[in-house]
Structure 1
Amino acid sequence: MVEAFVLGQTPTLTRTEVAAAAGVPMEVTEDLWHHLGFPHAGEDEIAFTESDVEALRMTQELIRLGVLSEDRQAALVRTWGRSYARLAEWQTSLLAEVARERGGDEVEDLVALSAQVLPIVESLQDYVWRRHLVSAARRMLTVADASAVPLAVGFLDIVGYTARSKRLTDKELVDWVEAFEDTCSDVVVEHGGRVIKYLGDGVFFTFEDVSAAARTALELASLGDDRDSPFPHVRAGISYGDVVLRLGDVFGPTVNIAARLTTLARPSSVVIDENAAAALEDVDGFRVEKMRRTSVKGYSRLQAFRLRSRSD
């Protein structure tokens, strides 16, 4: 009932029939479904609709246009699959929770609620995607002639995550992590940065402006010291240098160094690398303290600096 409503059609086709109708080789079809993270369907299982045929045709057109070339295809489709799978899990859980609260037949209430909500959500998702597309295009055009772009990269970890998570129920843990992610997102975006990904017990973010990244890390680190705030104790590492941008992710030694610096930070503190320290040396509001060189995974005698606010 729910499946037919959401898909807009009742499944009538097997995977072999979908591939044949779309004119796409079966091995290509299976690769795409695998990368998208869809469950495996048996050869004779009726699990697909005409919309699956159309989706394959559109995918084949992207391949023909060179957008989904062989070397890009797997990575791009995997990114789609992971992103939409997580979004769908969250949306389904939210709708199911609201349906249960109504106290009637859960399936009927879920379908009725979906009929009201899904068109709105679909429009909002399209809007949000287009706004992010504009932002991404602006960033890409700014660095169109460069193989790498300089960014401040930050990692933030929850201190004592494992121990605390063992004391919480599943719902309490989800609520706690979601509140942590919401706060991090609000502070990062407020200062002009971008959250690249959440890591369960941490967050990975980037800034074009090193001082904005520093203010963000110090602000988040200070929240854990507020006894009236549910925000946990955290520690942060920031590095500054060239990175490679790919499919919304960020790669390179600068990213690796930021992650390693986080392991050197004490609770409620921020540690930065030499490049970030040099950029912040004469910036009002910050105090940079040189630390002893330390060997971490992949880097021998890494030079780190403790970052403090001038007001501390």
Structure 2
Amino acid sequence: MSVEGTGADPRRAAAEDGGAAADGGDAVRGDGAGEHGRDDREPGFGPAGTAGRAGADAAGEAVGGAETDEDPLAIRLEQLILGAERQYTPFQAARTAGVPMELASRFWRAMGFADIGQAKALTDADVIALRRLSGLVEAGLLSEPMAVQVARSTGQTTARLAEWQIDSFLEGLTEAPEAGLSRSEVTYPLIELLLPDLEEFLIYVWRRQLAAATGRVMQSADDEESVHRRMAVGFADLVGFTRLSKRLEESELGELVEAFETTAADLVVAHGGRLIKTLGDEVLYVASEAGTAAEIGLRLIESMRHDETMPALRVGIAFGTVTTRMGDVFGTTVNLASRLTSIAPKDAVLVDGEMAAALARDGDAPLSEVEAAEEEKEGGVSAYRFALQPMWRRPVRGLGVVEPWQLTRRPSAAG
């Protein structure tokens, strides 16, 4: 996507208007941080990066309204994105929302907002958000610890999204289209154009994901199963990534990681799994059915094997009880899947005994090739998708002795 059609002059005019607005002093008003006495000197919090070390050092309000050293265009960009001017100190925002400062501080910390002292850096939107979150607690819909978890999970997720969009998305779109325009001057009109659609798209994706997550919980047999569920957990790990990272340029390494994460994420989702997280050279995914996890693991191997730019891959899958929390998964099953990955040969999938038993129980793989051969003689064509070969029993750090199985496709199921 380009910014063609917006014209150079409107973008320059927008930047000039931004500078004029900031120079006029409308964006930041300073009338002293001590007006509310002792309470007003309590630690305050606000959006990280709102004013760099936004509060007492840069914003100026805390010392009686001194002029700010911030870039006027940066202030105007902030106003565009937030939809409002800075108006409150953290104490004033908490008081206006009717929330104790201590609780407000907990919420702001959980959302990932930096300590800004008592700078006037918060807006009406901050007050409304604070009031809504505390209102859920007052109404008994959320406990206070749960409300803090909501704030933390939302803050962590959106912080990563925002960083990605700035680093990978906007950076590629804000190259100055003509001499004399800086990247900053191009950014304002671009964000002005993109913001409404990106906001609506974010809400759409969130609603879709929320519907899918709710559906998974509703399918659980009981309340305990909704938190501690039996599922397959898979790890996929690039072989020799550390050595490779020392040979490649940073840009090349970044492209390789992005290609791996994109391919893995697409395969996991397309075949019915759920991507939990990517860790550069490693991907963690889960699936409700053992056969789904097995199919994903093999397809990951096959996809990377046919890409000459990619190093070899190894996959470990375990089946068992998993604890879910804030979108992540924990427990012995997760640890076992990770250990299996570390001992798997290149371009191979190792599974644990529980996973092998689940595949056999669901009719996806025989535990004995003798049985499979007899069934093929009787029926002519095997109904099994996968083959399982027992490997040597071996001790695994922290988990005792395990008997891994190597998972492959049966010839009749290949392709």
Q: Place the TM-score, normalised by the shorter chain, in its bin.
A: over 0.9
Q: Are 1:22 and 2:97 an aligned pair?
A: yes
Q: Which amino acid aligns with 1:98?
A: L
Q: Give the secondary-structure state (helix, strand or coil) at the position aligned to 2:408.
A: strand
CA distance in 1, matches of 2:190, 2:124: 25
Matching residue of 1:68? 142
Q: Are 1:129 and 2:206 an aligned pair?
A: yes
* Counterparts in 2 of 1:272 and 1:229: CA distance versus 1, 3 Å: same
Note if contact 1:274-1:303 (Cα within 8 Å) is conserved in structure 2. yes
Q: Are 1:304 and 2:404 an aligned pair?
A: yes
Give 1:128 shift: 0.6
Q: Are 1:106 and 2:183 an aligned pair?
A: yes
1:84 pairs with 158, 162, 171, which one?
158
CA distance in 2, matches of 1:96, 1:18: 33
* Counterparts in 2 of 1:29 and 1:238: CA distance versus 1, 3 Å: same
Name the TM-score, length of structure 1 as normaliser: 0.93
CA distance in 2, matches of 1:263, 1:15: 48
CA distance in 1, matches of 2:166, 2:402: 45
Q: Give the secondary-structure state (helix, strand or coil) at the position aligned to 2:234.
A: strand
Matching residue of 1:13? 88
Q: Which amino acid aligns with 1:134?
A: A
Q: Are 1:295 and 2:369 an aligned pair?
A: no
Q: Give the secondary-structure state (helix, strand or coil) at the position aligned to 1:155.
A: strand
CA distance in 1, matches of 2:338, 2:149: 23
CA distance in 1, matches of 2:95, 2:145: 25
Segment drifting more, 180-189 vs 61-70: 61-70
Q: Are 1:198 and 2:260 an aligned pair?
A: no
Give 1:207 shift: 0.9
Q: Are 1:276 and 2:355 an aligned pair?
A: yes
Q: Give the secondary-structure state (helix, strand or coil) at the position aligned to 1:203.
A: strand
Matching residue of 1:220? 300
Q: Are 1:265 and 2:344 an aligned pair?
A: yes
Which of structure 1's runs of 4+ aligned residues deviate more than 4 A? none
Q: Are 1:184 and 2:184 an aligned pair?
A: no
Give 1:101 shift: 4.9
Give 1:248 shift: 2.0
CA distance in 2, matches of 1:173, 1:8: 38
* Counterparts in 2 of 1:11 and 1:144: CA distance versus 1, 3 Å: farther
Name the TM-score, length of structure 2 as normaliser: 0.71
CA distance in 2, matches of 1:117, 1:17: 32
Segment drifting more, 7-16 vs 170-179: 170-179
Note if contact 2:176-2:183 (Cα within 8 Å) is conserved in structure 1. no
CA distance in 1, matches of 2:395, 2:202: 45
Please provide the CA RMSD for this pair.
Answer: 1.8
Unaligned runs of 5+ in 1: none
CA distance in 1, matches of 2:136, 2:221: 22
CA distance in 2, matches of 1:102, 1:297: 56
* Counterparts in 2 of 1:169 and 1:81: CA distance versus 1, 3 Å: farther
* Higher Cα radius of gyration: 2
Q: Are 1:285 and 2:385 an aligned pair?
A: yes
Q: Which amino acid aligns with 1:6?
A: I
* Counterparts in 2 of 1:304 and 1:186: CA distance versus 1, 3 Å: same
Q: Which amino acid aligns with 1:261?
A: L
CA distance in 2, matches of 1:146, 1:23: 35
Give 1:49 shift: 1.0
* Counterparts in 2 of 1:101 and 1:292: CA distance versus 1, 3 Å: farther
Segment drifting more, 88-97 vs 162-171: 162-171
Note if contact 2:238-2:282 (Cα within 8 Å) is conserved in structure 1. yes
Give 1:231 shift: 3.4
Note if contact 1:154-1:237 (Cα within 8 Å) is conserved in structure 2. yes
Deviations 1:73-110 (A, max 9, x none): 33332211110001001112211331125343322211
CA distance in 2, matches of 1:9, 1:172: 41
Give 1:190 shift: 1.3
Give 1:144 shift: 5.4
CA distance in 2, matches of 1:206, 1:41: 40
CA distance in 1, matches of 2:202, 2:221: 27
